[in-house]
Amino acid sequence: MPVARINGTTLGYDVYGTGEPVVLVTGTAAPGRVWRSHQVPALRAAGYQTITLDNRGIGPSGPCEEGTTLADLAADVAGLIDHLGAGPCRLVGFSLGAIIVQELLLARPELAAQAVLMATCGRADALISAMAAADVELCDSDVKLPPRYAAYVQAIQNLSPRTLNDEQRLQGWLDIFEMSPVTPAGVRHQLGLQAIADRLAAYRRVRCPCLVIAFRDDLIARPHLGREVADSIPGGSYTEIAGCGHYGYLERPDEVNSAIIDFFARPRRSPARRMP
C-alpha cells in the first residue's frame, strides 16, 4: 500500500485500475479495504479507476489525535486528490465518510464532479448524540468487551432483520465481527465526530450533483436523516434500499452498486441555484 505525506500526517491509499477516478471514503474505524469485496470490482467493471484510503487512526495512516476535526479529515481526502492529480473526481462516502465528503464539497468544491452519500446525516439527533457519547465513554473506560459479545452487539446495530433472520448468513457475519474487533484506542478521536452540529443550512451551498442512499432498516443513520441531506442540497437525489441496515453497502451490494453506477452515468449538470 502506498503512503503519502498529506495535511501534516501520513495517509495509506490504494489505486485500482484506470479510467475516471472515484474516491471511496469509509466510516468510523473502517479500513479502506472494506470496499475491495464489492464496490471496487463493480466500479472497475464499469470503467472507473477506484481510489481507497485509510482515514487517520487506521494504519498505515497516521494517528487520529485529540483535536482532529471533520475539517481535518476532509482536508486529508482533498490533499490525496491533489497528490494524485485526480480532481475533479467522483466521490463515495459511507456514514462518517459521507459526512467527510459533505464537508469537502463545501471546502474544496472544485475537486468534486459527483458525490454519493450513503447512510449519512446533516445533523446529530438525540440518538446519534447518545451513541457517540456512549462509544467515547466505553473507550475511555478501558473496558474490553468479550469478542463474541461485541460481535453480537455489532450485528444487532448494523444488520437488517432480513440478515439477522437468515441463520447461515448471520453466522458468517458474526464470525467476521468476532475475528475483526475494533481497537478503540486507535480510533478514539474518530468516535465523536459523527455527532455534528446542524449543517443542513450549509449544505444549501453545495453545487456538486449528489445522490443520497439510505438503508431502510438502518438504526444508526435512519433514512429520514439522509432525506434531510438530499432535500438540503440543491438538486440532490435520494434513494432508499430495502432489506438492509447500516452496513447496507455490504448486505445488498448489487443494489447499492447499481444505484451508484447509474447515478454516475447521468449527464453532469450543475444544479439550479437555490435562493437562500
Query: Angle at CA 95, nearest 5°, toward 184 and 211?
Result: 165
Count CA atoms within 13 Å of residue 159 on its CB side. Answer: 22
Annotated active-site residue in 95, 135, 160, 217: 95
Query: Do 9 and 56 meet the contact criterion of CB atoms below 8 Å apart?
Result: yes
Edge-to-edge strand ranges of the sheet holding 48-53: 3-6, 9-16, 48-53, 20-25, 89-94, 112-118, 210-215, 237-241
* Dihedral angle of Cα 199, 205, 211, 212, to the nearest 10 degrees: 10
Annotated active-site residue in 54, 217, 218, 232: 218
Q: Known catalytic residue: 14?
A: no
What is the chain's percent helix, strand, coil content, to nearest 5? 45, 15, 40
Strand residues in the chain grouped as ranges (E): 3-6, 9-16, 20-25, 48-53, 89-94, 112-118, 210-215, 237-241
What are 51's three cell numbers?
A: 481510489
- DSSP β-bridge partners for residue 114: 90
Q: Known catalytic residue: 95?
A: yes
**Backbone φ and ψ of 260, nearest 5°:** -65, -50
H helices of 19-125, in order, are 39-45, 70-84, 96-107
Query: By C-alpha distance, which of 117, 66, 81, 115 is closest to 96?
Result: 117
Q: Known catalytic residue: 218?
A: yes
Annotated active-site residue in 61, 76, 217, 246: 246
Q: Which residues are catalytic?
A: 95, 218, 246
